[in-house]
Amino acid sequence: MAKGSRELKICKGNTINSAAGGIRAQRLHKGVLRDLERLSQKEENIRRLEEQISLTKQLKEDRDKMLLEKGSQHS
């Protein structure tokens, strides 16, 4: 009877370990998905920043051009 009890404990232990492994795998999967989402958001932020830099540069160039044109009209 004791032998049967040990076998039952081993089976229960394996089931518990399998369940814990499944939970760890789910957490890992969720973590990977969060990391991928953060990476995607970071890439989008970089794209927007680059666009903002480009627009700012264009705005400054246009402003300087307008100032030069106004300055040459007054001379």
Q: What is the pLDDT of residues 12-24, one digit of tens each?
A: 555 556 777 888 9
**pLDDT score of 20:** 76
**Overall number of domains in the chain:** 1
Q: What is the pLDDT along the chain (75 residues), one digit of tens a residue?
A: 455 455 445 555 555 567 778 889 899 999 999 999 999 999 999 999 999 999 999 999 999 999 999 888 865
Q: What angle do CA 57, 63, 67 make, to 5 degrees?
A: 145
Give the integer Cα–Cα distance in Å for 32 and 26: 10
**pLDDT score of 22:** 86
**The domain containing residue 32 runs over which residues?**
1-75
**pLDDT score of 49:** 98
**pLDDT score of 8:** 47
